[in-house]
Amino acid sequence: MRQTWRWFGENDPVTLDHVKQAGAVGIVSALHHIYDGSAWPQAEVDRRRAVIEAAGLTWDVVESIPVRNEIKIADAGRDRAIASWTDSLRAVARAGVKTVCYNFMPVVDWTRTDLRWPLPTTGFALRFDAIDFAAYDIFVLERPDAEADYTPERVAEAKARLAILTPEQIATIERNLIAGLPATERKFDRPAFKQALLDFTSMSDDELRGNLLYFLKAVGPVADELGVRLAIHPDDPPFSLFGMPRIVSTPSDVRQILRAYDSPSNGLTFCTGSYGARADNDLPAMVREFADRIHFAHLRNVTMQPDGSFYEAEHLEGGTDMVAVLDAFLAEQQRRKDAGREDWLIPMRPDHGHLLADDIGKDRINPGYSLIGRLKGLAELRGIMRALGATKYPDLPLH
Ligand code: DNO
């Protein structure tokens, strides 16, 4: 697989030299300074590409072109918002980036309650605590009718939890949930967040899916024309939050998306950490089923806890059999190569990493996107790929 690395641009404390030291050869990036869904100017896109190439790397994947809320709620402005999105798509295609990740999560992008969960190793992990989340939703945010979305036992647990959380802890949970993790599109305060949720209170999964399909039917032909592979990122976590619909969480969701616009350009970002946070998702089986439409992989692992919480585990630990997942990816690469497909090499990035060693205590680290944790993850994944390649796919080039 092509070893890539997410880089947030010149403000990222992890430099392009660090990326090379970690052994990655490609970059995953976006214009994070223009992240409100307006069209990306060609000159800015070209500049980003030039910076990456000057360091001896290539810009392999755009992650992400933000999808404006008007599109998710089918508001009057949606066609204009889609036109801006395709303008950005054309700009990145002209700059030669042909794989584009995006997501269709309502209001909140990826969501965690705890960004510094102490591990027994003395490092720190990101974590989603299901009870903290419920406590915040029901008793702090006071979302109308929130209780109805939980079991009576969970409501009681949430109430008991609230009683022992300090005001500082509650403020931290709130900041983590609504004020934005790296690369989230919108940051809120409490009143604005409650207001934003109203757009989705009565929206069913099928309605949101309808809005995604409308979007795909509009952008799919443009992607076909440009030779761009679109790669939708799954919901993280893959279950409903704040009573909102979720449509990219399960194999059945994926089948509906792929069928809706049946072209290779309509594909997936296979994020093992997101899909892996549901016990009923069989990840190696999903990679095998959707293989020819997977254009990009995020590789990380999660450990599910009995109360529905999860934390980000070591890349090779946790609930997902990473060796089986990588085996399925290498088998797909072999199949593509044999079929003469030009896009046989699937880009992967080590997704997230623990906060470790000299990164602990640095103040500008993007949560999950530290250098050392990801470097370790990539090294472990590379070892598996090398071993599988040598024993099972000896004719498949490494890069
Ligand atoms: C979190 C990321 C997400 C992802 C977007 C893709 O670490 O995986 O922010 O980039 O959801 O659109």
pLDDT tens for 22-37 read 999 999 999 999 999 9
Q: Is residue 125 part of a domain?
A: no
- Burial readout 147-171 (b: 16 or more C-beta within 10 A, e: otherwise): bebbeeebbebbeebbeebeeeebe
For ligand 1, what atom is nearest to the CA of residue 274?
8
Active-site residue flag, 292: no
Mean pLDDT of the chain: 97
By most ligand atoms within 8 Å of CB, the mutation choice from 8, 65, 110 for ligand 1 is 110
Residue 299 lies in a domain: yes
176 alpha-carbon distance from chain centroid = 16
Q: Which residues line ligand 1 (CB under 6 A)?
A: 63-64, 101-103, 109-110, 183, 233, 298, 368
H or E stretch at 329: helix 322-338
Question: Whose CA is closest to atom 3 on ligand 1?
Answer: 110
CATH number at residue 366: 3.20.20.150
Neighbours of 280 (CB within 10 A): 8
pLDDT in tens, 3-28: 999 999 999 999 999 999 999 999 99
Task: Label residue 170 by pLDDT band (50, 70, 90).
Answer: very high
In a domain, 159, yes or no: no
Residue 130 tokens read as 């299901």
Bond from prior residue into 274 cis (ω within 30 degrees of 0): no
176 within a domain of the structure (yes/no): no
> What's the rounded Cα separation, in Å, for the pair 10 and 329?
32
Sequence-ordered alpha helix ranges (H) in 148-250: 152-164, 167-178, 190-198, 205-226
SS3 190: helix
pLDDT of 90: 98
**Which residues, in sequence order, are bridge partners of residue 5?**
27
Q: Give catalytic status of residue 351 as yes or no.
A: yes
Tell me whether strands 301-304 and 294-299 are parallel, antiparallel or unpaired: unpaired
Q: Tell me if 310 is assigned to some domain.
A: yes
- Best residue for ligand 1 mutational test, from 4, 8, 233 (most atoms within 8 Å of Cβ): 233
pLDDT of residue 184: 80
Q: How far is the CA of 105 from the centre of ligand 1 (A)?
A: 10
pLDDT in tens, 146-164: 999 999 999 999 999 999 9
Q: State yes or no: is 33 an active-site residue.
A: no
Pocket test for ligand 1, best of 28, 88, 103, 270 (most atoms within 8 A of CB): 103
pLDDT of residue 18: 98
Contact (CB, 8 A) for 343 and 227: no
**101 catalytic per annotation:** no
Q: Has 369 been annotated as catalytic?
A: yes
pLDDT (mean) for 357-361: 95
What domain count does the chain have? 1
Q: Is residue 272 part of a domain?
A: yes
Give the model confidence (pLDDT) of 176-221 as tens digits: 999 878 778 788 999 999 999 999 989 999 999 999 999 999 999 9
pTM above 0.95, yes or no: yes
Question: Cα–Cα distance between 10 and 68 in angstroms, integer?
Answer: 25
The rounded Å distance from CA 153 to ligand 1 centre is 32
Structure confidence at residue 363 as a pLDDT band (50, 70, 90) = confident
354 is known as an active-site residue: no
Q: Which domain holds residue 351?
A: 2-111+198-392
If you count them, how many residues does the chain have?
A: 399
- Say what the pLDDT of residue 399 is: 80
